[in-house]
Structure 1
Amino acid sequence: MYLARVNFYTRCAIRGVTPAWVKEILLSCTTYDSASGISGALLFNERYFLQSMEGERSLLSNQIVKIAEDERQSGLTIVAFKAISVRMYTGWTVAFAARNTQMDLLYFRYNVIGELDPVRMTLDMFDGLFSELCQIDGSYIQRSSSDGRVQSAGRPRKDILAQ
């Protein structure tokens, strides 16, 4: 068994982003814990889901197949799938790609334009974006530790949905 990391993105197939939809996805991080063997990060908006997942490579492959079959997403594009010697993530970080000064600066640092656009991102850009994302606090970010406990439970603000 080998430890691996996969970075990928999909297009969101759901139209009409609602606060309930955002909250459901933010709370999804509590379903992953050390027992699942998968850690990582998810950044999403009304157009894209960007993910970086770590774990045993067959577990990651199975998860990728499930995601590819998920009707809420389409156009799965793998940016990288590689063996790693140590995890970058200790649990899960899930974030709504809010439009505010802090997040806009982050998008600008790791993209050609100042918005979330994975089509124009390299692997280094993905890794840098996720590394910094895991250090940011905000009401649009949810985290769980390796034991599945929620570390930062923010309620999505209505103003983050107005993009």
Structure 2
Amino acid sequence: MLVRLTYASRALNGVSSQLIREILEASQRNNPRKGLTGILCCNADIFLQVLEGPRAAVNELYNFLADDQRHKGLTVLDYEEISVRRYANWSMGWAGAKQANRELFLKYSCSDRFDPFSMSAAQISGMLQELEASISPLTTPVIS
């Protein structure tokens, strides 16, 4: 059985390009052998991540992430059984919450600031679908 887990958290010491690079490299190294795929979106202090894969593997990774001292306040925003992966091509894709995306944030939320904590699962899904065009499996992040 496949599941999709969407969660958000707050970075303890901010989000840097180096931190994103480390997360993406570890994800791309470890996720394929566990059957995991997904996407990471962030700004200067908020992470939004979607994990897809076998239920046991997704739950195990989430529990591991909950102990990660680089972030706090992990909040599950959506958890669902799925029949098809949305991010099958990415062991972990990345989409930065750049200034250019402010209109997109306003379209799906109450403000032009990236704040997945204030969005519904449907709003997050719609926003991420529109961001997919800019997603790269491993790029130099632009944080704003």
After TM superposition, the structure 1 = structure 2 runs for residues 74-113 of structure 1, keeping only pairs within 5 Å, are: 74-90=72-88, 91=90, 92-100=92-100, 103-113=101-111
Q: Name the structure with the higher helix share.
A: 2
Give the CA deviation at 1:32: 5.0
SS at match of 2:99: coil
Give the CA deviation at 1:57: 0.7
**CA distance in structure 2 between the partners assigned to 1:62 and 1:112 by the alignment:** 33
- Structure 2 residue identity aligned to 1:98: K
2:95 and 2:132 in contact (8 A); partners too: no
For the pair shown, which has the larger CA radius of gyration, 1 or 2? Answer: 1
- Structure 2 residue identity aligned to 1:121: M
SS at match of 2:8: strand
2:136 to 138, 142, 148: 142
Which residue is equivalent to 2:140?
A: 155
Which residue is equivalent to 1:129?
A: 127
Which residue is equivalent to 1:13?
A: 12
Give the CA deviation at 1:95: 2.2
After TM superposition, the structure 1 = structure 2 runs for residues 3-82 of structure 1, keeping only pairs within 5 Å, are: 3-15=2-14, 17-82=15-80
Which residue is equivalent to 2:112?
A: 114
Gapped runs of 5+ residues in structure 1?
A: 144-152
Give the CA deviation at 1:155: 3.1
**CA distance in structure 2 between the partners assigned to 1:56 and 1:23 by the alignment:** 25
CA RMSD of aligned residues (A): 2.0
Moved more, 126-135 or 114-123: 126-135
- CA shift in 2, pair 1:111/1:55, >3 Å: same
Q: TM-score normalized by structure 2? A: 0.86
SS at match of 2:33: coil
- Aligned sequence identity (%): 28
**CA distance in structure 1 between the partners assigned to 2:31 and 2:126 by the alignment:** 23
- CA shift in 2, pair 1:19/1:88, >3 Å: closer
SS at match of 1:112: coil
1:26 and 1:95 in contact (8 A); partners too: no
Aligned residues: 142
2:8 and 2:75 in contact (8 A); partners too: yes
